[in-house]
C-alpha cells in the first residue's frame, strides 16, 4: 500500500490507522504550498486532488477519509478498528462522518479557507466566526460522548483517528483549548505507539510535548 499524504492534514488520521494495522506501506508526501496536489503525476492518480489517497496492493486507488478508514478496518478485522456489534459499529461510523463532514469540512474549512465559502473578502470574518462555532460545537458534542469513556465507542476505533486529527488542528493550528474529556482523549491518543510513530514520521513530534 502507498499513502499519499500532506503533513498535518486529515491524512494524519489514516496514517495512524496504517500504523495500528502494522502491515508494510509506503508514504509519499505532497507539498500543498507548491500545489503538488493539483499537478501530475498526482492528478493522474487522484483527479480529485485530495489527500488522503491510498493506492492498494493491486494498484487500485481509494479516496475519501471515511471510505479508506472503513476499508482498512474491514480488511483487517482482527485489529478491531471497528466494533463487531452492529449498533456500536454504526455509532462509530456516525461519529466518524460527523467529524469529517461537519467539524472538518464545515467548521475548520470556514476558519482557514473562508474564500471557499464566500468570494467576497468583506464576508470572511463572518465566515471564520461561523466556522469556529461549528468546530467548537463539535468538540462539545464529542466531549459529552466521551464522558466516562476512554474512546468514542468505548474502545479505540476509526472514529478516534478522525477525532485525533481535529484535536491536533485545534491544539497546534488554531491554539484552542479543548474541553476536559476531549483533552483527555487527545492526551490518551498521543500515548498510543501508532500515533507517536505517525507524528514522528511526519516531522510533527513537537505535538507530543504540547
**pLDDT tens, residue by residue, 110-151:** 999 999 999 999 999 999 999 999 999 999 999 999 999 999
**pLDDT tens, residue by residue, 136-192:** 999 999 999 999 999 999 999 999 999 999 999 999 999 999 999 999 999 999 999
Q: How far apart are CA 54 and CA 46, in angstroms?
A: 9
**pLDDT tens, residue by residue, 78-90:** 999 999 999 999 9
Phi, psi of 61 (to 5 degrees): -110, 135
Over the chain, what is the mean pLDDT?
97
**pLDDT tens, residue by residue, 9-53:** 999 999 999 999 999 999 999 999 999 999 999 999 999 999 999
Evaluate if residue 7 carries a pLDDT over 90: yes
Evaluate if residue 66 carries a pLDDT over 90: yes
* Contact in structure between 161 and 139 (CB atoms under 8 Å): no
CB atoms within 10 A of CB 26: 9
* Contact in structure between 51 and 6 (CB atoms under 8 Å): yes
Domains of the chain: 2-79 (3.40.30.10), 86-196 (1.20.1050.10)
Q: Which residues are bridge partners to 28 per DSSP?
A: 4
For residue 210, the model assigns a pLDDT of 86
Parallel, antiparallel, or unpaired: how do β-strands 53-55 and 61-63 relate?
Answer: antiparallel
Q: How far apart are CA 115 and CA 127, in angstroms?
A: 9
Q: Is the pTM of this model over 0.75?
A: yes
* Contact in structure between 14 and 5 (CB atoms under 8 Å): yes
Phi, psi of 82 (to 5 degrees): -135, 140
Amino acid at each position: 500500500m502507498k499513502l499519499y499524504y500532506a503533513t498535518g492534514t486529515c491524512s494524519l488520521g489514516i496514517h495512524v490507522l496504517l500504523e495500528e494495522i502494522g502491515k508494510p506501506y509506503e508514504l509519499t508526501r505532497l507539498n500543498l504550498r507548491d500545489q503538488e496536489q493539483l499537478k501530475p503525476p498526482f492528478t493522474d492518480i487522484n483527479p480529485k486532488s485530495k489527500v488522503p489517497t491510498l493506492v492498494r496492493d493491486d494498484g487500485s486507488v481509494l479516496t475519501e477519509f471515511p471510505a479508506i478508514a472503513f476499508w482498512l478496518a474491514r480488511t483487517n478485522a482482527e485489529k478491531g478498528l471497528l466494533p463487531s456489534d452492529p449498533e456500536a459499529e454504526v455509532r462509530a461510523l456516525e461519529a466518524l462522518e460527523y467529524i469529517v463532514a461537519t467539524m472538518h469540512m464545515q467548521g475548520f474549512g470556514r476558519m482557514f479557507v473562508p474564500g471557499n465559502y464566500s468570494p467576497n473578502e468583506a464576508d470572511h470574518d463572518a465566515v471564520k466566526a461561523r466556522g469556529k462555532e461549528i468546530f467548537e460545537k463539535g468538540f462539545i458534542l464529542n466531549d459529552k460522548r466521551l464522558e466516562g469513556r476512554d474512546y468514542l465507542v468505548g474502545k479505540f476505533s476509526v472514529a478516534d483517528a478522525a477525532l485525533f486529527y481535529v484535536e491536533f488542528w485545534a491544539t497546534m493550528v488554531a491554539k484552542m483549548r479543548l474541553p476536559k474529556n476531549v483533552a483527555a482523549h487527545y492526551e490518551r491518543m498521543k500515548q498510543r505507539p501508532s500515533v507517536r510513530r505517525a507524528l514522528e514520521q511526519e516531522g510533527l513530534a513537537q505535538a507530543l510535548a504540547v
